[in-house]
């Protein structure tokens, strides 16, 4: 089997409500880039990536750098193709746009392999479809406290059994007041996760983390800058709340540094930021070697497959950059869990008619 064509299409998806975290104060849309890999066997694989920033750069990276490389190659040699894509784009940067572009192609290759073998992605990776506990990830830093509490209560009313809220305000004491209000509203038994999106200093993260302890916070995510491994270790040692991070890491080597330093409790690779299914599974193996339960960031419809293929997974994140309105069969929430569909490939099928008006390139 040979790859005969690669197609990319860019869409801009509006959000129903403006969202905010400590890095992005006003998010009203995100880009969705679909990548279709066609073969001479008549089978196609679908990959995609989402981006808050304009995805035109990712599209160009695929169209002009990766597609010419993939053309006429055997799509089943995924590990080899991953390495070739990595080195072809190396001079343009080891991470960022190059990684997101490689990830979308890698995802399409895995989808293709699933369709060719008749296996769902999780079975292809050695797992089987099973319920993965999810949490609703609020993107709500600049919601009023009343709006925030209402959002959390709505999540629970919809059937979520765990919730996450943003922290990371310039005065961390405001965050603590908001955490206290949410904890009071949702009761003591619901796992409450917090996410600071990188913006605190190490000192403030320690102060805030200590103050959060009495509210039974399940984890504190991305407390400070992602390049500061030693800083994360200081935070991990100073507070009783476990640390989660990884959406801002772009390779297994970056995860290895965190794991080796014992600076993360819940490694949180994002299948697209990390460079695709191929690299995500390597991070999961590393996490297992360091006895850390792997979780996920975004792309729940893909991560339900990946987490079902690793031993003792943690939560799958239910991210609010939803594509459900544009999917033929969005994943249902059942008893607080999401489960991979047992159909060939990743099983994500877009309703292209619905997407059509949102196409920008
Ligand atoms: Mg996060």
Q: Which residues surround ligand 1, an ion (CB under 5 A)?
A: 195, 221
How high is the pLDDT of residue 34? 98
CATH code of the domain covering residue 64: 3.30.390.10
Q: What is the pLDDT along the chain (361 residues), one digit of tens a residue?
A: 999 999 999 999 999 989 888 888 889 999 999 999 999 999 999 999 999 999 999 999 999 999 999 999 999 999 999 999 999 999 999 999 999 999 999 999 999 999 999 999 999 999 999 999 999 999 999 999 999 999 999 999 999 999 999 999 989 999 999 999 999 999 999 999 999 999 999 999 999 999 999 999 999 999 999 999 999 999 999 999 999 999 999 999 999 999 999 999 999 999 999 999 999 999 999 999 999 999 999 999 999 999 999 998 999 999 999 999 999 999 999 999 999 999 999 999 999 999 999 999 9
CA of 198 to the centre of ligand 1 (A): 9
Please report whether residue 188 resides in a domain: yes
DSSP string, 152-202: HHHHHHHT-S-EEEE---SSHHHHHHHHHHHHHHH-SSS-EEEE-TT-S-H
User: What is the three-class DSSP state of 81?
Assistant: helix
* This prediction's pTM: 0.97
172 & 282 share domain: yes
201 & 55 share domain: no
Angle between helices 97-117 and 277-289 (to 10 degrees): 100
Please report whether residue 343 resides in a domain: no
How high is the pLDDT of residue 20? 84
Residues of the domain holding 168: 123-338
CA of 137 to the centre of ligand 1 (A): 8
Domain boundary among 96, 118, 140: 118
Backbone torsions φ then ψ of 2, nearest 5 degrees: -130, 150
Chain position carrying tokens 């929430």: 333
105 & 127 share domain: no
Domain count of the fold of the chain: 2
Please report whether residue 32 resides in a domain: yes
232 & 102 share domain: no
CA of 196 to the centre of ligand 1 (A): 7
CATH code of the domain covering residue 203: 3.20.20.120
User: Which residues are identified as catalytic?
Assistant: 166, 297
286 & 245 share domain: yes
């Amino acid at each position: 089997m040979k790859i005969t064509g690669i197609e990319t299409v860019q869409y801009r998806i509006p959000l129903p409500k403006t969202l905010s975290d400590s890095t992005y104060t006003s998010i009203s849309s995100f880009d969705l880039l679909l990548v279709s890999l066609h073969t001479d066997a008549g089978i196609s694989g679908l990959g995609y990536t989402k981006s808050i920033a304009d995805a035109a750069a990712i599209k160009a990276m695929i169209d002009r750098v990766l597609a010419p490389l993939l053309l006429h190659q055997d799509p089943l040699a995924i590990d080899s193709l991953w390495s070739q894509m990595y080195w072809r784009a190396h001079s343009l940067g080891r991470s960022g746009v190059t990684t997101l572009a490689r990830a979308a192609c890698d995802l399409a290759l895995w989808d293709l392999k699933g369709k060719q073998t008749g296996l769902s992605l999780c079975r292809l990776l050695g797992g089987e479809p099973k319920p993965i506990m999810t949490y609703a990830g609020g993107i709500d830093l600049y919601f009023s406290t009343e709006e925030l509490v209402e959002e959390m209560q709505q999540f629970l009313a919809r059937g979520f059994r765990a919730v996450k809220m943003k922290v990371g305000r310039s005065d961390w004491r405001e965050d603590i007041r908001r955490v206290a209000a949410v904890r009071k509203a949702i009761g003591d038994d619901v796992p409450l996760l917090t996410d600071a999106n990188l913006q605190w200093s190490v000192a403030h993260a320690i102060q805030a983390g200590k103050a959060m302890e009495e509210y039974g916070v399940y984890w504190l995510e991305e407390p400070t800058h992602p390049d500061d491994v030693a800083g994360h270790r200081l935070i991990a040692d100073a507070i009783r709340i476990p640390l989660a991070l990884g959406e801002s890491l772009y390779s297994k080597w970056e995860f290895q540094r965190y794991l080796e330093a014992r600076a993360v409790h819940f490694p949180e690779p994002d299948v697209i930021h990390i460079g695709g299914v191929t690299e995500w599974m390597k991070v999961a193996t590393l996490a297992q070697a360091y006895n850390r339960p792997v979780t996920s960031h975004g792309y729940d419809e893909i991560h339900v497959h990946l987490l079902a293929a690793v031993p003792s997974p943690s939560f799958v994140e239910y991210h609010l950059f939803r594509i459900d309105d544009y999917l033929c069969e969005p994943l249902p929430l059942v008893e607080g869990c999401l489960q991979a569909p047992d159909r060939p490939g990743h099983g994500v099928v877009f309703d292209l008619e619905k997407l059509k008006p949102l196409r920008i390139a």
